[in-house]
Amino acid sequence: MAIRSVRHVSAPGPGEIASAVIVAFAFAVPFVSDSQLVYSLANQILIAITASFSVYIMLRMDLMTFAVPAFMALGGYAFAIASLRGGITDTIALAALAFAIPALVALPLGVLILRLRGVYFVLVTFVLTQILDLLLFETPGLTGGSNGLVGMPPTTLFGLTLDDNRGVLFVAAGLTLAATLITAGLTSYFRQHFAAIEENEVLAQSLGLVTWRYKVLGFVVAAGVAGMAGFALVNMLLTAHPSSFSPISSVNYIGYAIIGGRGSMLGPIVGSGLLVWATNLFSIQGEYSQGLFGVLIIIVVMLAKGGIVGAVASLCRRFTRHRRDRAGVAPQTAAREASTPL
């Protein structure tokens, strides 16, 4: 019998590897284009990808989070304050800080709120973002209040000053690649644990899984990843301002992840790419884009749970199965492959 050959599959899958490759291509943008528009779009997409990875991590455990803007703000302001007050300009040190501060804040919060179930968790993350938004306005001594923080010196890397548009895009690409690797590492290493929590938490607990520990771990890493997106955003805008982290913008990041497809890391990438591009193309600003994303989320949830990536993947499978059936291959093989996650 072959069952002893079972290994715990925790290596990155094709979806995760493809994600890292696609994100790595962002480094090529400065070499193939001079257009400010392209730079700006690439920056926005990269930030959106990083932020929606934060949503993606929590969705692995069937938890919806509205706290992404809050943790982005913590990361962004951590960068701004460290840069202005501490004189730190090294990009790697700043990135580590932008990850660590939100993660440290998320740890005790996670222990408290992840004992809540489903909808209560969602509500608390939403309130959290509202509270942080208020705090940013009410602590002008630290955050500059409604003026925000400006005048951060350009970041540096190994003595290089990253002060032009290329440099800013380079930082965003580096942060996104790091976020991709962190997300891929976490979700593939704990794939079985997260999937068990997503599908049947009661059973997982009764088999001995300490579920809240994994949820807190996911929440902490998701917060850190969001913080890196906040760093990239503040670095792009040259200002840390509360309006960049409005509570309602959480809908965008949820939209990117769900419309793109929550089943694979490619989902947030495709969703961010398409939706940020479309938002720019049609110049849909502010409330309208969120309204549109809301409608799209409803459509996806009702018609195509796997989002764009999930729909394309199932179309591909149907196509290959159709061809294979014609070729007379045993249908059992096709059925087995259909159950393999992307």
Report the interface residues with another protein, using CB under 8 A.
Answer: 1-4, 6, 8, 192-193, 195-196, 199-200, 202-211, 336, 339
Nearer to another protein by Cβ, of 196 and 254: the residue is 196
Nearer to another protein by Cβ, of 210 and 330: the residue is 210
Nearer to another protein by Cβ, of 157 and 311: the residue is 311
Q: How far is the CB of 257 from another protein (least distance, A)?
A: 19
Q: How far is the CB of 301 from another protein (least distance, A)?
A: 18
Q: How far is the CB of 339 from another protein (least distance, A)?
A: 5
Nearer to another protein by Cβ, of 56 and 77: the residue is 56
Q: How far is the CB of 271 from another protein (least distance, A)?
A: 22
**Do residues 218 and 194 make contact, with C-beta atoms less than 8 angstroms apart?**
yes
Q: How far is the CB of 84 from another protein (least distance, A)?
A: 46
- Burial (0-12, 13-18, 19+ Cβ within 10 Å), 32: exposed
Nearer to another protein by Cβ, of 325 and 337: the residue is 337
